[in-house]
Amino acid sequence: MSATANAIANRRPLRGRTALITGATAGIGYETARALACSGARVLVTGRDPANGERATATLARDCGADSAAFLRADHGTVGGNQDLADRVRATVARLDVLVNNVGGLYSHRQETADGYEATLAMNFVGPYTLTAELLPLLTEGGPSRCVNVVSAGFKMWKTDPFTDLHSTDQFVSGDAYAHTKLLNVLASLAWARRLAPDNVTVNLVHPGMSWTPMTASMTAQTIPSMRLIWPVLRFWQRHASPVKAGRRVAFVASSSDTAAYTGRYIEGRAAPNRLSERELDLDNQDLAWTLGEELMTTAPTHHDRQTPGRKVSPR
């Protein structure tokens, strides 16, 4: 290869790779997609609003290459919506090198999805679980491939049993429901990492850091009551935190050769993995969360009762 060709390859090291980033029409998801697209990957971005999707993909195409991005409208709040998205992804690409489960939800009041699930649980846990399960054939097709689940350090704030009051029917506090469901995501992700290791699929978790995004902007002092006394200071830092840096951190975990060997790791703020607590590392907790995800997926009213072509999961 010539020196010029080497230079081009080094600038676009992800050429020929395909990545799906959920909730990527704005905020951290968009900046993650941008970092991957400008490194040469073809990115599929999801969102609810076609107009926002078209604007995002047009900008990515302009800045990163004409064929760098495509938009797929998605309802991530229901099991059936995630299954429909997976069907369209399978119809679009033959393999998937990177799956970034970025989309999430934080709600000011309790609400339920069409499945009858509390919305925070549906968006932060059931949705990512379902999409990962449905896309396994594409992830295992060519290997190695990566699944990166975007979480929050807030999962550490949930101090009680992860498997009680799943739908926040006893009490709903926005920030608590968010922390609870992010913890379930962490536990299930660690179980996925063990199950998919034989298939050459890595599963890692990343806390991208504080940033000013539409979800952050929607927060109020009542979202996390325990922080109401320092809310003005927290709000100041949120407003000055860029989603660009956060997106690049997610993209780093999703694509860097430095993280290629990681699986079942949690990364927060630096390249080296962070130590998780005994609660998260407990294999029984991980397996319970994985089983819970499977149950909530398969028993949801919107679930399409059919076998995903090629879906397989290695023994734990």
Q: Which residues participate in catalysis according to the annotation?
A: 178
Q: How far apart are CA 265 and CA 272, in angstroms?
A: 9
Cβ neighbours of 24 (radius 10 Å): 32
Question: Do residues 174 and 107 touch, judged by C-beta distance below 8 A?
Answer: yes
User: What's the gap between Cα 280 and its chain centre?
Assistant: 18
Angle 283-298/127-134 helices, nearest 10 degrees?
80
Query: Which residues have CB under 8 Å from 78's CB, separation 6+?
Result: 113, 114, 115, 122, 127, 300, 302
Give the Cβ contact number of residue 195 at 10 Å.
Answer: 20
Secondary structure (3-state) at 205? strand
